[in-house]
């Protein structure tokens, strides 16, 4: 079984372990600064590791840390994946590209957002950032979500939030709040008014990292949504029938959702998945968010609200701010050894399924045994 010790304790540790693992297997590694500093003054970087070039044109991309504080699980999966490669057994037909800590600021500072308070997964918008969507619905909840004051022991968020859920319902409220907004720069789910540093970095380098691929499967790791310790693959770009059937064959029926507001998924604008699928990086590009459940939706929203409030209106380093950040870390990467073991094993399983699916070039048997890494 995979243990809690396999998870990095912080961004610096995660990055060091990632670089060491890439060096140990002889992968091509590069580091790309986002021009910001971490808590101890360290330069913050997006790190990339690529397996030796192959001729088949089939590429597996595994990315982590787009939502900063969610980074530990994806980082642990990437490092374990390279260790698995070193032991042998990886399909020769598949080249692997690992993108580590796509939002290093959020990872280092225990935030979901970047140094400009941008949610990177709402920022991959069309050129020109013509933000013409209606944000009136979000504005109605601004005072509830984004209090402009320091934290208080007398916080009525839960009863007010439960009232909002009773009035509007969970699916409609979820869609209204997390779609992304451009009018409240210090608010939750701010999509920015221009390209984020993450967007600029991927726009500059993504094509060269992928190379001349004919088929790409891209798994982007996230936590905080869904049932405790379980994974749901969320696809928010159009799939053709062949791609849909392929996902069923690789991962089994019911393992993924396509923009179902009644389920785990929600529809957001400016996501990494929509952007990657639309950039013609390959003739066949399938992207899925690998979302691992932790705590309930309301608890997660409350934690995001408290950390954002402390970040903008509290004092850095004081007890309340540190408590809010520690709570956010727990919400997105529980300390439970059982959760960590289950999530890491599940993450490695879906990566190997995707790799074997790419290698086979055809549908895998829907009734096959689960492909698990040796522990």
Q: What pLDDT was estimated at residue 134?
A: 55
Q: What pLDDT was estimated at residue 93?
A: 87
Residue 256 phi/psi, 5-degree rounding, is -140, 155
Q: Give burial (CB, 10 Å; 0-12/13-18/19+) of 190.
A: buried
Tokens of 343: 């999530």
How far, in Å, CA of 310 to CA of 85, rounded?
42
Tokens of 101: 């800590």
How far, in Å, CA of 284 to CA of 216, rounded?
6
Q: What pLDDT was estimated at residue 166?
A: 84
pLDDT per residue of the chain (375 residues) written in tens, 0 to 9: 455 557 999 999 999 999 999 999 999 999 999 999 999 999 999 999 999 876 668 999 999 999 999 999 999 999 999 998 888 878 888 999 999 999 999 999 999 999 999 999 999 987 656 554 556 778 888 888 999 987 776 788 889 888 887 887 776 677 667 788 888 999 999 999 899 999 999 999 999 999 999 999 999 999 999 999 999 999 999 999 999 999 999 998 889 998 755 555 567 889 999 999 999 999 999 999 999 999 998 899 999 999 999 999 998 889 999 999 999 999 999 999 999 999 999 999 999 999 999 998 743 433 343 333 333
Q: Report whether 79 contacts 18 (CB < 8 A).
A: yes
Q: What pLDDT was estimated at residue 369?
A: 38
- Go through 75-104 and write b for each residue having 16 or more CB atoms within 10 A of its CB, e for each that does not: bbbbbbbbebbeeeebbebbbbbbbbbbbb
State pTM to two decimals: 0.92
Q: Report whether 99 contacts 64 (CB < 8 A).
A: yes
Q: What pLDDT was estimated at residue 167?
A: 82
- What domains are defined for the chain? 1-375 (3.40.630.10)
Could you give the strand order of the β-sheet that contains 43-50, starting from the edge strand earlier in sequence?
Answer: 28-37, 43-50, 94-100, 58-63, 215-228, 284-293, 231-235, 256-258
Tokens of 108: 């280092």
Q: What pLDDT was estimated at residue 107?
A: 98
Q: Report whether 319 contacts 341 (CB < 8 A).
A: no
Q: What pLDDT was estimated at residue 177?
A: 73
**HSE-CB of 360 using CA atoms within 13 angstroms:** 13
Q: Report whether 190 contacts 308 (CB < 8 A).
A: no
Distance of CA 361 to the CA centre of its chain: 27
Give the three-class secondary structure for 35.
Answer: strand
If you ran DSSP here, which 8-state letter would residue 6 be given? G
Q: Report whether 22 contacts 50 (CB < 8 A).
A: no
Helices (H), the chain: 11-25, 71-86, 104-109, 136-140, 142-145, 157-168, 170-178, 197-210, 241-251, 272-277, 297-313, 319-332, 337-360
**HSE-CB of 335 using CA atoms within 13 angstroms:** 6
């Amino acid at each position: 079984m995979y243990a809690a010790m396999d998870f990095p304790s912080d961004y610096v540790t995660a990055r060091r372990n990632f670089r060491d693992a890439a060096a140990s297997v002889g992968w091509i590694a590069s580091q790309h600064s986002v021009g910001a500093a971490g808590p101890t003054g360290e330069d913050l970087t997006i790190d990339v590791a690529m397996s030796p070039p192959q001729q088949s044109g089939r590429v597996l991309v595994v990315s982590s840390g787009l939502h900063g504080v969610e980074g530990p699980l994806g980082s642990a999966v990437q490092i374990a994946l390279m260790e698995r490669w070193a032991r042998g057994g990886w399909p020769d037909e598949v080249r692997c590209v690992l993108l580590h800590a796509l939002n290093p600021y959020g990872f280092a500072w225990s935030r979901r957002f970047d140094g400009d308070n941008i949610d990177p997964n709402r920022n991959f918008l069309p050129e020109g950032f013509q933000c013409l969507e209606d944000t009136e619905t979000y504005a109605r909840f601004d005072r509830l979500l984004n209090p402009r004051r320091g934290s208080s022991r007398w916080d009525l968020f839960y009863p007010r939030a439960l009232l909002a859920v009773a009035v509007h319902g969970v699916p409609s409220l979820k869609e209204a709040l997390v779609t992304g907004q451009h009018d409240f720069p210090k608010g939750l789910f701010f999509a920015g008014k221009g390209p984020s540093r993450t967007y600029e970095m991927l726009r500059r380098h993504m094509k060269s990292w992928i190379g001349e691929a004919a088929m790409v499967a891209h798994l982007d790791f996230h936590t905080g949504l869904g049932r405790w310790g379980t994974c749901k693959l969320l696809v928010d770009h159009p799939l053709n029938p062949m791609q849909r059937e392929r996902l069923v064959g690789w991962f089994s029926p019911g393992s993924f959702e396509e923009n179902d507001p009644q389920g785990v998924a929600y529809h957001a604008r400016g996501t990494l998945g929509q952007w990657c699928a639309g950039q013609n990086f390959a003739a066949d590009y399938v992207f899925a968010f690998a979302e691992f459940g932790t705590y309930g939706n309301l608890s997660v929203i409350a934690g995001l609200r408290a950390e954002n409030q402390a970040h903008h209106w509290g004092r850095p380093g004081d007890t309340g701010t540190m408590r809010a950040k520690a709570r956010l870390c727990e919400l997105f990467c529980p300390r439970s050894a059982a959760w960590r073991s289950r999530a890491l094993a599940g993450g490695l399983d879906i990566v190997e399924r995707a790799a074997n699916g790419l290698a086979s070039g055809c549908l895998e048997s829907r009734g096959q045994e689960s492909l698990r890494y040796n522990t």
